Amino acid sequence: MMGAPKISTAESAVMEALWRKSPLSAEEIAAEVAEPQGWTLATVKTLINRLLKKAAIGATPEGRRYLYHPLAPRADWLAAESKGLLDRLFDGRLAPMVSHLSQAKALTGDDIAALRKLIAEIDEEDAQ
């Protein structure tokens, strides 16, 4: 994420709610994420404040409340998280990760078909 904020795992739950639909009030965000996480509204508001300080989200006043919207694109966050995972666990290399998933029987037939299709598309692009 070029210059984008580092988003914690807890904060990512709030971000996912906002990436799905925005703008949302703190109460609407809490309705989406609090119960599955076992959080209170106060916890959600703390996460919102952290994300505001990181400039990952923006706030627009509406009456006596604020409506929140994402400033950090999900694609940027996903790219940074994916790279971080590869760097931490597989020395930045994709093939060892796929090998690990294969050995752990974590790849479905659909996953393998999708990987084959992706490799074919990459090969086709490289040939052009």
Successive 10-residue mean pLDDT values, the chain, 128 residues: 74 96 97 94 97 96 96 88 84 85 87 88 86
| pLDDT for 3 | 54
Q: What is the pLDDT of residue 2?
A: 47
In which residue are the tokens 């930045």 written? 92
pLDDT at position 1:
40
